[in-house]
Chains A and B, each alone.
Chain A
Amino acid sequence: MIVETMVFYLFSAIMIASAVMVISTRNPVHSVLFLILTFFNAAALFMLTGAEFLAMILVVVYVGAVAVLFLFVVMMLDINFVELRQGFMQYLPAGALIGAILLIELAFFSVGHWVSAPDADAQRALAMPAAGQVSNTLALGRVLYTDYAYLFQLAGLILLVAMIGAIVLTLRQRAGVKKQSIADQVSRSRGEAIEIKDVPTGSGV
């Protein structure tokens, strides 16, 4: 038990520290690397609570895809991050004040005396299979396409909108861009593609 608690605090502490580093390092590449560290620690926390599927998803999707994409963007785009950060110090006091107030408020009701409704635990248990009987992944798979098929479809539509949006806002059709047209390529005849010249010996083309 004590080991588990210690491990929990270890991961939480590293996670908070690296989250702070994400917004405070000067080098954006370091920021992204710290973000990856944060994700790994969050995954470890999920693992501690027994949610192994979420932990794996976090690593695979966020570290494997999202963070790497961030890294590419940061390295390939020429954005002056120092300029973007100007004014950060100016807004820091107000932001820190609001954050502190929010933190105190949250601590006020959540530390020690969070109260649930009388049958909240029964309600929660209703949606979960008995622990130890099935693995996380199996339990999710059982309900995702049956009980929650509606939400699954909705999520698909939301992702579709995101894709359309990204294309609408970034795809530009410029004139003078050479595009591959397979139909044109295939239908070319030998006559238009090459020209045969008879080069006399010793005189060049």
Chain B
Amino acid sequence: MTTQIGNDLLLALPEIVLALAALSLLLTGTFFGRAKAGSLLWICVVAIAFAALYIVFTFSTREIAFNGLFVVEPFGNFMKLLVLLGAGLAMVLSYDFMQRERMALFEFPVLLLLATLGMVLMVSSNDLISLYMGLELQSLALYVVAAIRRDSLKSSEAGLKYFVLGALSSGMLLYGASMIYGFAGTTSFNGLGQVFTQMSAMGEMPELGLIVGLVFLLAGLCFKISAVPFHMWTPDVYEGAPTAVTAFFAAAPKVAAFALLMRVLLDPFIGLLVQWQQIIVAVSILSMVLGAFAAIGQANIKRLMAYSSIGHVGYALVGLAAGTEDAAVSVMVYLAIYLVMTLGTFACILTMRRDGRLVEGIDDLRGLFSTQPMLAVALSILMFSLAGIPPLAGFIAKLYVFEAAVRAGLYTLTVIGVLSSAVAAFYYLRIVKLMWFDEAGSPLDKKMPREVGLVIATTSLAMVVLVAIPDPLTSGAAAAAASLFGK
């Protein structure tokens, strides 16, 4: 028989492994200095792989630990797997970048690992306090990583901008949380859920103070997923941060923050569906439209991907707005596919070098097909998938969320979503056109690190394979959604 604390620690084993790995890497790093920084990255990847394996084998556990602050259930486990996949792949991508761009600081992998730990912790939070603590651990590590290139003005600016706006959004989130506590008298999700379901069962209108609290909480979370109107930081941070860091930003933290949004809205706040639905619908429409139109004029591919990510968050929010179990499944599938697509695209961006120097212009891709046909094919698949063109995975993802929204009766939202995705297709297809049909300028370097090539190949292949064999993904998402809705 194990004791209570032993059981709790066992439940949090993946998190504990990540934390211990980060601490021991920090010690190793200080001992060996900067020379071995690259190999620390691989140790991080091993720690992440271990945590992911442990989660896979204990996928269907459902327990609450640490005095109700920490929850382990299939929904959290599914999202944690996505987060770990995203973080692990981004770390693999950053190995070569670290070596070549004079970023070989041993603190870099440690900070990435601590950010990943923060994401995993916030996904499994079961209380407003643990939610905030996880979120802050993640954000603080990411602010530093954004500014890690001290000699670059853009990187410092990105870090500072991210930090100031992030601190503001944390303040809003905390303020909202304090109001929610003021109303309900508890910060635990179970307690909040009880209060709100009771209220909606008795047909009571929620108090104004509670709604204001909810709005502040949502504003804080929407900042983290960079949904319009809280998106202002995204293009600048994406462009300013070193490309490997941007790849990290675009994948795992988005998914983790989205998981948090789903957990908060679909679990304790499901009783207030009517109240938050209109907010999510508005945010979703704005994000989709801005993501579609603002990306058209971009010449820098990192900025373009920033707007693209804003748009994709909008599509995922379409599914969330429906607020049903089917919709939750669709959102999870969408996030998984988005994660893979984005990482694949950033892997391609990381290979864009001319004479050994990174280039970021969209025009630099001109005539890529004639010089590097394989890369052009892979990037085209990813672009088609991002645009949502059948029969690729990106299309299936969009289909799922729109279907869920239609079933929930959100017709206007769906129509706007389809139209804006048609507009967005323009800029994705323009990249494809540049690669295949335009005259090549001075060609990009052909040499590409083996692990980056492997990531590009796997992700672009996944876009096709996931359509044919969707099973582990969809069945996992279904189990996860069922646990979120308390079945």
Contact = CB atoms under 8 A, between A and B. Distances in A.
Contact of A120 (B144, B183, B212): B183
Contacts of A122: 185
Contacts of A115: 183, 207, 209
B63 to A, nearest CB: 14
Contact of B134 (A106, A154, A162): A154
Nearest to B136: A158
Nearest to A147: B67
B191 interface: yes
Contacts of B406: none
A120 B199 CA distance: 13
Contacts of B143: 165
A116 B182 contact: yes
A44 B143 CA distance: 35
Contacts of B130: 150-151, 154
Contacts of B199: 117
A110 to B, nearest CB: 7
A108 interface: yes
B22 to A, nearest CB: 8
Nearest to B133: A154
Given A119-B185, A124-B185, A169-B144, A161 B111 contact: yes
Contacts of A162: 140
A97 interface: no
A172 B105 CA distance: 12
B101 to A, nearest CB: 16
Interface residues of A, number: 33
Contacts of A169: 144, 147-148, 150, 159
Contacts of B484: none
Contacts of B207: 109, 115
Given A150-B130, A161-B144, A168 B212 contact: no
A155 B133 contact: yes
Contact of B111 (A116, A120, A124, A168): A168
Contacts of B66: 149-150
Contacts of B358: none
B110 interface: yes
Interface in A92-134: 105-106, 108-110, 114-117, 119-124
Most buried by B among A124, A150, A168: A150
A164 interface: yes
Contact of B19 (A105, A151, A157, A172): A157
A108 B67 contact: no
Contacts of A168: 105, 107, 111, 144, 148
A188 to B, nearest CB: 24
B415 to A, nearest CB: 33
A72 interface: no
A23 to B, nearest CB: 16
A109 B140 contact: no
Interface string A34-70: 0000000000000000000000000000000000000
B220 to A, nearest CB: 15
A165 B140 contact: yes
Contacts of B473: none
A151 B183 contact: no
B114 interface: yes
Nearest to A167: B107
Most buried by B among A124, A165, A172: A165
B212 A116 contact: no
A81 interface: no
B184 A110 contact: no
Interface string B316-344: 00000000000000000000000000000
21 contacts: A106-B212, A116-B183, A120-B183, A120-B186, A121-B185, A123-B185, A123-B191, A124-B185, A150-B67, A150-B69, A150-B70, A151-B69, A151-B133, A154-B130, A155-B133, A161-B144, A164-B26, A164-B110, A164-B144, A169-B150, A169-B159
Q: Which 7 A-B pairs have the closest CB atoms?
A: A120-B185, A123-B185, A165-B144, A150-B66, A109-B208, A154-B133, A124-B185
Interface of B: 19, 23, 26, 66-67, 69-70, 105, 107, 110-111, 114, 117-118, 121, 129-130, 133-134, 136-137, 140-141, 143-144, 147-148, 150, 159, 182-186, 191, 195, 199, 207-209, 212
